[in-house]
Amino acid sequence: MPPSSPPDPRPPTSHERHAGQPWNASYLDGPAPWDIGTPQPAVVRLAESGGFCGPVLDVGCGTGDNALFIAARGLPVLGVDVAETALATARQAADDRGIEVAFAMADALHLQRLYRRFETVLDCGLFHTFDESERTEYAASLASVTDSGGTLYVLCFSDTGPDTGPHPVTRQALTAPFDDNPAWHIAAIAPEHLRTRFADSTSAWLATIERR
């Protein structure tokens, strides 16, 4: 299935079941809580240190701030999400700013349907929304589109520090689905921070995970 086509009907994720609404609803009444209008500081630091090589996949890209920032540095980038309203906003921002970047609707748990592979994959704020069984499926889905020798970055809320996000993840919960999948090797996990519309600094993990 080409990336521009709608995905097959999918069951709601655990986050959608708990919230009682689909992801797209988060964008219908103004910015979502995680939609800060700029790239995450951790993503900026990764980019400035040469952490991204193209082609790049931004999974759960939302309104595209991180994808736009990376693409503006000259890398080919595809941002994917299941929220069409967010994707429309991202495409408009790309047009307004004259940045060459692609956005497509795709299910993060079935990325093989993209029929593409990437050298770098970014997950900024998606991993922590999945439950345990979904994370196992997600690790396999990510492996299906990441080149051997490629790098996956996972930036997610952590359970450490005084200010935790709504879906805090333990270090063990972060490592488990990748330790259990022979396609992956966890190179590093470091404390980080995520910005939201309500807090400039929320405790997070930044995992650097290598595709075998």
Yes or no: say if 168 and 157 are a contact pair by the CB < 8 Å rule. yes
Question: In the predicted model, is pLDDT for residue 1 greater than 90?
Answer: no
Question: In the predicted model, is pLDDT for residue 2 greater than 80?
Answer: no
Nearest to 124 by CA among 163, 88, 154: 154
pLDDT of residue 161: 80
Please state, for a pLDDT cut of 70, what percent of the chain lies above it: 96
Q: How many CB atoms lie within 10 A of CB 204?
A: 27
Summary mean pLDDT of the chain = 94
Span 185-197, pLDDT tens digits? 999 999 999 999 9
Span 42-59, pLDDT tens digits? 999 999 999 999 999 999
